């Protein structure tokens, strides 16, 4: 569920917190990154929405732009984060139309369920290219603007690599790389005034990941969560606002987990493990 004007009334953040600033968001038309962008725009920022799907990206930019009277939200569609030159085009368009880039959210990602025996090399590479290489390319393409404006970047990761999660080998490996990338950038770019952090969402309600990865009854899932509720996209948005705001001005090189301590409980119990995994790995497949 997205944000609206009520966010300004019941959030802890002051209006116009990001007035005059610009946020550049890959995956901005997706569920989580869209709400992150909505929060930034409601709090005064202008935004560039970057995505591959033209219709979806254009529509998201239009709708987010309606959240604030004077908002400027542009669509940079047909952009492939796996190709740095494609992202450079998006950066050039953003600077031309919005004048600058202060904040970057690297959120473009790919995911699907696949056990190792059925996961081909190409499928593994595809996710790594989108999630990890795409994150590197996003940082690379926006670097000059971040350096000029002493900006900040947030990479969207996950908690899947904190423990073994079946059917998510490709994503876990890619997101582990994203965490390492952010940590190194925080150290290398810190002297330039650039901050780099990671947000690692857990189960987020009303997302594609929630639909695909959770097979149990919803009430049973909630009972196993420490805070006794499933996170919302707003929880991620608020973490984003904190890290980009002056309140987070000395926060860099961190991984902000937004899952209510759930990952400490280990992988959620699923009826797919271990019976289904054993059966799948015994099949004579081993995709290459």
Q: With CA atoms as reference, report the closest residue to 264 among 230, 224, 204.
A: 224
Give the active site residue among 21, 75, 77, 175: 175
Which residues make Cβ contacts (< 8 Å) with residue 192, sequence separation at least 6? 147, 150
Q: What whole-number distance in Å separates Cα of residue 125 and Cα of residue 173?
A: 10
Q: With CA atoms as reference, report the closest residue to 41 among 252, 244, 254.
A: 244
Do residues 162 and 264 lie in contact, with contact meaning Cβ atoms separated by under 8 Å? no
Give the active site residue among 135, 157, 182, 196: 157
Is 249 annotated in the active site? Answer: no
By the 10 Å C-beta count (0-12 exposed, 13-18 middle, 19+ buried), 64 is classed as buried
How distant is the alpha carbon of residue 61 from its chain centre? 17
Is 11 annotated in the active site? Answer: no
By the 10 Å C-beta count (0-12 exposed, 13-18 middle, 19+ buried), 21 is classed as buried
Please state the φ and ψ torsions of residue 273, each to the nearest 5 degrees: -130, 135
Do residues 47 and 57 lie in contact, with contact meaning Cβ atoms separated by under 8 Å? no
Compute the residue count for the chain: 288
Tokens of 153: 């970047």
Which residues make Cβ contacts (< 8 Å) with residue 54, sequence separation at least 6? 75, 77, 78
Q: What whole-number distance in Å separates Cα of residue 27 and Cα of residue 178?
A: 15
* Residues designated as active site: 157, 175
């Amino acid at each position: 569920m997205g944000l609206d004007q009520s966010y300004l009334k019941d959030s802890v953040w002051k209006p116009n917190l990001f007035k005059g600033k610009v946020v550049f968001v890959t995956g901005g038309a997706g569920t989580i990154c869209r709400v992150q962008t909505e929060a930034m725009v409601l709090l005064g920022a202008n935004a560039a929405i970057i995505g591959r799907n033209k219709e979806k990206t254009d529509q998201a930019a239009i709708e987010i732009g309606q959240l604030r009277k004077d908002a400027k939200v542009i669509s940079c569609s047909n952009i492939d984060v796996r190709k740095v030159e494609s992202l450079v085009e998006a950066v050039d368009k953003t600077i031309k139309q919005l004048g600058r880039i202060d904040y970057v959210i690297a959120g473009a990602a790919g995911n699907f369920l696949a056990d190792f025996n059925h996961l081909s090399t190409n499928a593994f590479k595809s996710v790594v290219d989108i999630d990890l290489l795409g994150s590197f390319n996003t940082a690379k393409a926006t670097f000059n603007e971040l350096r000029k404006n002493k900006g900040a970047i947030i990479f969207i990761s996950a908690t899947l690599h904190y423990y073994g999660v079946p059917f998510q080998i490709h994503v876990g490996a890619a997101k582990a790389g994203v965490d390492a990338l952010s940590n190194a950038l925080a150290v290398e770019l810190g002297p330039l005034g650039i901050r780099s952090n990671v947000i690692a969402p857990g189960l987020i309600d009303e997302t594609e990941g929630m639909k695909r990865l959770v097979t149990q009854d919803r009430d049973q899932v909630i009972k196993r969560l420490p805070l006794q509720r499933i996170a919302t996209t707003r929880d991620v948005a608020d973490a984003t606002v904190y890290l980009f705001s002056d309140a987070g001005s000395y926060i860099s090189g961190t991984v902000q987990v937004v899952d209510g301590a759930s990952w400490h409980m280990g992988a959620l119990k699923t009826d797919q493990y271990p019976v289904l995994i054993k059966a799948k790995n015994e099949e004579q497949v081993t995709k290459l």
